[in-house]
Amino acid sequence: MADVNRGNRPLSPHLSIYRPQWTSIMSIAHRITGCALSLGAILVVWWLLAAASGPDYFATADGFLTSWIGNLIMFGSLFALCFHACNGVRHLIWDLGLMLDPDQAEVAGKMTLVIAALLTVLIWIL
């Protein structure tokens, strides 16, 4: 039986109802970086297949991946990898029952983002 006092409220909560929180933003970013890693992996496989196919095809693939747009894509893929790994460690910490308090979870999310950015820059420089 329907509740007559429900008014115009939606049947179930969704993104337009909840205020974004660090944990939800990090969860969405984790999924996005997972998809981005798949696309980056395809580019790396293309580069390796081009290397096996011959010097002309490799020159085309290598020319693209070492261009400014290729470097930008690879830098983004590196950040996605670092973020995805750091966020996975954050989830492992949660699995241990640590940092589950909302304030601690927010700090962990911010730390994850900072560590991923630092790792990305460090790896890129090296």
Structure tokens belonging to residue 75: 């830098």
pTM of the complete model: 0.81
How does pLDDT run across 23-69, given as a tens digit for each residue? 989 999 999 999 999 999 999 999 999 999 999 999 999 999 999 99
DSSP 19: P
pLDDT at residue 101 above 90?
yes
What is the pLDDT, as a whole number, of residue 11? 66
> Do the beta carbons of residue 30 and residue 84 sit within 8 Å?
yes
Mean pLDDT of 1-13: 63
How does pLDDT run across 9-23, given as a tens digit for each residue? 666 666 677 778 889
User: Is 84 marked within a binding site?
Assistant: yes
d(CA 27, CA 108): 13
CATH number of 22-125: 1.20.1300.10
Residue spans per domain, the chain: 22-125
d(CA 47, CA 64): 9
